[in-house]
Amino acid sequence: MSASTTSGRIVIAERLTGAARLAELAKIKVARKRKDRMIEFVLLLAACVSVFTTLAIVYILLKESLVFFSDVPVWSFLTDTQWTPLFDDAHFGIAVLLSGTLSSSLVALFIAIPLGTIIAIYLSEFANHRLREVLKPVLELLSGVPTIIYGFFALLVITPLLQEIYPGLPTFNILSAGLVMGIMIIPYVSSLSEDAMRAVPMSLREGSYAMGATRFQTATRVVVPAAFSGIASAYILGISRAVGETMILAVAAGMQPNLTLNPLEPAATITSFIVQVALGDLPHGSVGYQTIFAAGLTLLLITLMFNLLGHWLRRKYREAY
Amino acid sequence: MSRKTDRSKELRAIIKSHKRWDVIFGLVGLGAIALAILTLVALFAQMVIDGFPRISVEFFANFPSRRAGQAGILSAWVGSFFVMIVTALFAIPVGIASAIYLEEYARKNWFTDVIEINISNLAGVPSIVYGLLALGLFVYTFGFGQSILSAGLTLALLILPIVIVTTREALRAIPQTVREGAYACGATKWQVVSDHLVPYGMPGILTGVIIGLSRAIGETAPIITIGALTFIAFLPPMPFTGDPAAGLFDWLFSPFTVMPIQIFNWTSRPDPAFHANAAAASLVLVFLTLGMNGLAIWLRYRLRKNIKW
């Protein structure tokens, strides 16, 4: 609309002569500039949505948690060894949920980090171009499957399989959830690590080969150390995915709070506790309602810590070529 | 002379043993990939074996039911569809606009830095935290309730970083000469963006949008957190139908369920007959998300092949 009026005005301006023409063209220029400014402002507002999202997350979590911590002292939140927020004799020991989060993440990382690293080295240093182009999208599919389906798979396929090997395993356990979670996280670790390795300049590899090193020696002694910062931040991304994973654990790990690091037992994690509470019917403003915000704040702080660690690692160990 | 051959034999043995590691690692690498792919195959096989017999027209046309044999996913797929509309309507324009701002307009200053760091941090926030945000903000502060609108906006915020990052990459890949050529013809910044950069970047932008939406359609945790009901035996009110006639936007405020929640509900029941339903619904959901992912990969492939600057 305004574009057509602008071009219309230009046509009119073309017919004028001398000073009148110049004045008309100057006016058109001002109008165009104003329109551009307005568009820039609208785009800026859109860019601010993400900043508002962060602020809103922090605000909401802090607001509800502050109410929670006015009822429950921070000290007992950190040191209590029971988590029974919905009982009459309520205890709020976050360590109970943290133990579930820790053991499930450890199991997942025990799978994802070695396998992800091996796959990354293989794809970057060993596989030929065509194999890589085929395998990469297939591996990415692993992270495209909705996590609820992994939960279903863990509960109905992996757990019975593990029970064949270890008959005493309960139906809900951290182990099978963690294993499936590990497989899910592989592409996060492998694709970022591979990118980092591929960014290592060819000349370093050529130097290594010229010294008579084999592929394996070049990969492990030249490429991996050179890409260390990228690989480390891939690991950290994997860790924060594992800590924040929800549905696999909610489905396959059981939701009863259990202070243990034994992956053969069922246990609730921070995330699956939030799901459990949200599934029930908690009145807005009750202590039970506020616990999920306190749990969420803990989760956010943990993942934030890992994100910052990732930034720091990347900055500290970045090799510039 | 013989000492020399001994030496070379020794060297050959060393080289051979070193090269053996190459072969061993190659096999280990292939084994690792095979393990990952095998898991994927097992996942599919199990879904197809358990779920495929349940897939029929009735499965798509029936509401969930207490009897497993009659239960269907009508309310779930319709709910997912409406939630995705809200998500797309919010995330696509906002995501593309912020990417354009950051890539083409933003000056290099502290404020831009804040936005950039913030976006990369948001991408690392667990999805359930978005659920808590939505519960506090959309459901209670804004009073949207446990509705399609709340869910759609939540998922939109969740996928915003994905859309922004991929759009920026698409814009960055367009050579500077395109911009300079347009400016030389007297175009304003917005004309350069809207007539040249966005159309040229379209395949890349679409890839990001599709990957974002496929992530959103499979998200369960944030939607559970805002309190979507699991047993919904009705559809959101279609505009101008029913008595009294529903308004154009009434569906936005309707209670709903979505596919992943229906799957969760069926999975958590002890009766194996419901597990077959869960497998069938999973099959439909996986078909949708992987179909979208496949489309995105294909788009990326075409983009790389066809465009030569």
Q: With contacts defined as CB-CB under 8 Å, which chain A residues touch B35? A: 115, 183
Q: Is the pTM higher than 0.95?
A: no
* Token pair recorded at residue A81: 């060894």
CB contact under 8 A, A303 and B268: no
Whether A149 maps to a domain, the answer reads yes
Question: 3-class SS at B228?
Answer: coil
Distance from B251 to chain A by nearest Cα, in Å? 23
- Give me the amino acid identity at B125: V
Task: Indicate whether A112 and A49 sit together in one domain.
Answer: no
Q: Which of B223, B210, B222 has its CA nearest to residue B289?
A: B210
Task: Indicate whether A54 and A183 sit together in one domain.
Answer: no
Q: What is the pLDDT of residues B73-107, one digit of tens each?
A: 888 898 899 999 999 999 999 999 999 999 989 88
Whether A82 maps to a domain, the answer reads no
Task: Indicate whether A164 and A27 sit together in one domain.
Answer: no
Q: With contacts defined as CB-CB under 8 Å, which chain B residues touch A123? A: 29
Q: In percent, how much of chain A has pLDDT > 70?
A: 96
Which of B12, B39, B193, B197 best probes binding to A when mutated, by most A CB atoms within 10 angstroms? B39
Whether A85 maps to a domain, the answer reads no
User: Does B100 contact chain A (CB < 8 Å)?
Assistant: yes
Q: What is the pLDDT of residues A32-69, one digit of tens each?
A: 888 889 999 999 999 999 999 999 999 999 998 998 88
Q: What is the pLDDT of residue B308?
A: 59
Distance, in Å, from the CA atom of B215 to the CA atom of B196, rounded to the nearest integer, reads 29
What range defines the domain where residue A10 resides? 2-71
Whether A206 maps to a domain, the answer reads yes
Whether A132 maps to a domain, the answer reads yes
User: Does B62 contact chain A (CB < 8 Å)?
Assistant: no
Q: In percent, how much of chain B has pLDDT > 70?
A: 93
Of the candidates A13, A36, A71, which is a domain's last residue? Answer: A71
Q: Which residue has the higher pLDDT, A244 or B63?
A: A244
Q: Which residue has the higher pLDDT, A208 or B302?
A: A208
CB contact under 8 A, B39 and A275: no
Q: Which of A101, A248, A123, A259 has its CA nearest to residue A192?
A: A123
Distance, in Å, from the CA atom of A278 to the CA atom of A272, rounded to the nearest integer, reads 10
Distance from B24 to chain A by nearest Cα, in Å? 9
Task: Indicate whether A66 and A122 sit together in one domain.
Answer: no
Q: Which residues pair with A92 in a beta bridge?
A: A83
Whether A88 maps to a domain, the answer reads no
Q: What is the pLDDT of residue B159?
A: 94
Distance from B244 to chain A by nearest Cα, in Å? 30
Secondary structure in 3-state letters for chain A: CHHHHHHHHHHHHHHCCHHHHHHHHHHHHHHHHHHHHHHHHHHHHHHHHHHHHHHHHHHHHHHHHHHHHHHCCHHHHHHCCCECCCCCCCCECHHHHHHHHHHHHHHHHHHHHHHHHHHHHHHHHHCCHHHHHHHHHHHHHHHHCCHHHHHHHHHHHHHHHHHHHCCCCCCCCHHHHHHHHHHHHHHHHHHHHHHHHHCCCHHHHHHHHHCCCCHHHHHHHHHHHHCHHHHHHHHHHHHHHHHHCCHHHHHHCCCCCCCCCCCCCCCCCHHHHHHHHHHCCCCCCCHHHHHHHHHHHHHHHHHHHHHHHHHHHHHHCCCCC
Taking the alpha carbons at both ends of chain A, their separation in whole angstroms is 50
What value does the mean pLDDT take over residues A163-170?
87
pLDDT higher than 60, residue A3: no
Task: Indicate whether A166 and A250 sit together in one domain.
Answer: yes
Task: Indicate whether A46 and A146 sit together in one domain.
Answer: no
CB contact under 8 A, B98 and A50: yes
Q: In percent, how much of chain A has pLDDT > 90?
A: 40
Task: Indicate whether A61 and A99 sit together in one domain.
Answer: no
Residue B309, burial from CB neighbour count under 10 angstroms (0-12, 13-18, 19+): exposed
Q: What is the pLDDT of residues A96-115, one digit of tens each?
A: 899 999 999 999 999 999 99
* Token pair recorded at residue B223: 């939607």
Task: Indicate whether A110 and A185 sit together in one domain.
Answer: yes
Task: Indicate whether A158 and A55 sit together in one domain.
Answer: no
**Residues 231-290 (B) with a CB less than 8 A from some CB of A:** 260, 263-264, 267-268, 275, 278-279, 282, 285-286, 289-290
**DSSP class of B236:** P
Lowest mean pLDDT among A29-38, B114-123, B235-244: B235-244
* Token pair recorded at residue A193: 């690590």
Contact A246, B221 (CB under 8 A): yes
Q: What are phi and psi of B232, to 5 degrees?
A: -125, 115
Task: Indicate whether A258 and A175 sit together in one domain.
Answer: yes
Q: Which residue of A has its CA nearest to B292?
A: A144
* Token pair recorded at residue B164: 């922004």
What value does the mean pLDDT take over residues B187-215?
89
Q: In percent, how much of chain B has pLDDT > 90?
A: 34
Which of B129, B171, B263 best probes binding to A when mutated, by most A CB atoms within 10 angstroms? B129
Q: Chains A and B: how many Cβ contacts under 8 Å? A: 254
Q: What is the pLDDT of residue A320?
A: 62
Contact A68, A290 (CB under 8 A): yes
- Give me the amino acid identity at A201: P
Q: With contacts defined as CB-CB under 8 Å, which chain B residues touch A162? A: none
Task: Indicate whether A16 and A128 sit together in one domain.
Answer: no
Distance from A36 to chain B by nearest Cα, in Å? 6
Task: Indicate whether A122 and A66 sit together in one domain.
Answer: no
Q: What is the pLDDT of residue A1?
A: 41
- The number of beta carbons lying within 10 Å of the beta carbon of residue A40 is 17
Total of domains in chain A: 2
Distance from B261 to chain A by nearest Cα, in Å? 8
Q: What is the pLDDT of residue A265?
A: 86
